[in-house]
Structure formats: C-alpha cells, structure tokens
Amino acid sequence: MVAGVHASAIQEIQEAKLIGVWSYFAEEIQTFSDQYHTQGYQTYEALLKDPAIQAVIVCLPSGYHAEYGMKAAALGKHVIVEKPIDISIVRARGLIGECRNKQVKLSVIFQNRFTSAAQKVKKAIDQGLLGRLILGDAYAKWYRSPEYYKSNPWRGTKLIDGGGALMMQAIHTIDLLQWLMGGVKSVNGSVRTSVHRIESEDLGVATVDYHNGAIGVIEGATAIRPGFKDRIEIHGEKGSIILEGGNIREWKVEGCNEADYVDEEKVVYGATNSPAISHVNHKAQLQDVINAILGDREPLVNGEEGLKTLQIVLGIYESSEKKRRVDL
C-alpha cells in the first residue's frame, strides 16, 4: 500500500526517477510495475545489483527494515525506510552504522514533520514565541477493524510489526510530539489488548518527561470507535498551540493574531480503516532526501532522528511490562 504512495511521489519529483520494484509476493511485482510503468525484479539481489539504482526505499513490514536497508547500504545505495526505522534498537543502530560506514544517506519516513502546519509550529517554538515549554500531549485515538488485522498475517504481531497501536499507528503522532518538544527523557506507560484478537496492544497510554523539563501525555489506540482526528497540544509560558488532524486548530499565543495561523479544514487521513494516504507529505520528505544526496548533507529525518521515536515506543512497552518509569 505505502509503496504506491512513494511511487506516486517520485513521479512528481523532477530530480528523481522510479527505476523498479521488488516484492515478497511475485504476483504483486507485475501488477505494481504495470501500474507505475517501471521494471519488476524477481529478486531483491537483482534490484540491488542494478547500477542505475542509487537509492532504495524499504516498504516491507517493520521487522525487516534494518535487514534489507543494510543490504542496500552494503552495495552503496542510499537508504530510505518507512516508519519505524525497525522494531529492534540493536538492528536500528546496525543500520545507522552501516550507512555511516558506507557513506550513504539514511532517512526514516516521518512525513508529518513536513506539513506546513508542523513546520509553522516548529518555527514558532524555535523562535521562542511560546516561551519555555511546560506541557506537550499527543492523542491518536483511532479505529482499526478486525478485518484490517486479518488482511495481512503480520499485523499486530510482535515478531514482525513489533507492536500494535503505538508502534504502527500512533508512532507518527508520537514522533511529531517529541520533535516539537525537543526529545523525551523518560516514560511511564501502560498498554492493553482491549478489543482486538491480536498479539500486541490496541490501547496504550504514557506520561512523559522531556529533556527540557516539560511533562506530557501520550495516548494511542486502534480500539476507539469510530476513530478521531489525531491531536497534539503544545503549551508554553506564553501560550498554547493545538494541532488536530494535521491542521492548526488553536493558536493562543501572546502577541500573535490567531487568524494568521489557524488552518482551513483539510482532509484527514488515518483515523479509520480507509487505506487512502495522500502522497503530498511523502513527496516533501523524499524531496528533502534527494536534496540531501545531491548536496551531500544530512536528511532532516536521518537514522538518529528515527531512532528517537522507536526508543520512546519501546520504552513505553518496557515500562508497562516492568510497571515502572523507564529512562531512555
């Protein structure tokens, strides 16, 4: 599903060309290559050996991201992996190290950082418009049907998906929160499998301590009917900003005219089962990665940035299991 999002984005980027595709499932290779007018490879090794390919986007299930990313890096290909960077911190660090050793770029897809709303909020925080940050909360109360989890055998598994609602759905909202708040120091969490017959959680909550001294809350779920817009609330000494469904809903900041900042209603993706995902924000992030390759600089979301959000989610899981606060 997400490979098609990337393919659509690549086709709109002037400096990029989609060379080909490989899939675990042989029947999907021809269908995908026909749809996007590109070449199909019968093996991953054949794709990697093609000298025309300079970068590889890994859209496999999460537990395979580092393994297949390292294979690409070993042959000198730049690597882009879908979120999360992997489900194992050890493997994620291995991918980061391999890309550093081979001097190729690594980026983790967290496309929500590239929305105009997120960029506007980040700029305001960095400029000190909110003063000292004191509270930062994230809510992703979504719904996924039983059919969603049955549609692919790895969904909701710990071995391949690495987790449930927090790892696979709320992770985008968690990443945006930690990026805006300046990083997470520790978490105290609890997870449950409350509705679905899956191995991992469909409900998770945590209290958060940030590096800057602020505190906050994370809530993520795929069990909340009918599913609601994700929401991020940032509160500082000089005011508050609220993002809802990727749009700025409230901008109550000293010295600011709220009408200059609040967004018009836009389409919201992710709250329910709908598979539709806009490629607009993926395009923005892929453009950044391409610019980083051409300009020999770090992508805005590099491997180390992607690792931060994985550590938060795994920290919540550990905290829930051990029933204590976990330092990251």
Same domain, 319 and 203: yes
Query: Sign of torsion, CA 15 17 22 26?
Result: positive
190-209 pLDDT tens trace: 999 999 999 999 999 999 99
Residue 201's closest CA among 245, 142, 277?
142
Pairing of strands 239-244, 203-210: unpaired
Helix (H) or strand (E) holding 325: none
**CATH for 154:** 3.30.360.10
Pairing of strands 106-108, 78-81: parallel
Same domain, 11 and 71: yes
Place of tokens 């795994």: 314
Same domain, 106 and 118: no
Same domain, 105 and 125: no
Residue 63 located in a structural domain: yes
57-107 pLDDT tens trace: 999 999 999 999 999 999 999 999 999 999 999 999 999 999 999 999 999
**Structure tokens that stand for 199 in this block:** 């191995």
For 251, the domain range is 114-273+302-327
Same domain, 213 and 315: yes
Same domain, 78 and 226: no
Same domain, 227 and 187: yes
pLDDT for 184 beyond 90: yes
Q: How far apart are the first and last CA of the chain?
A: 32
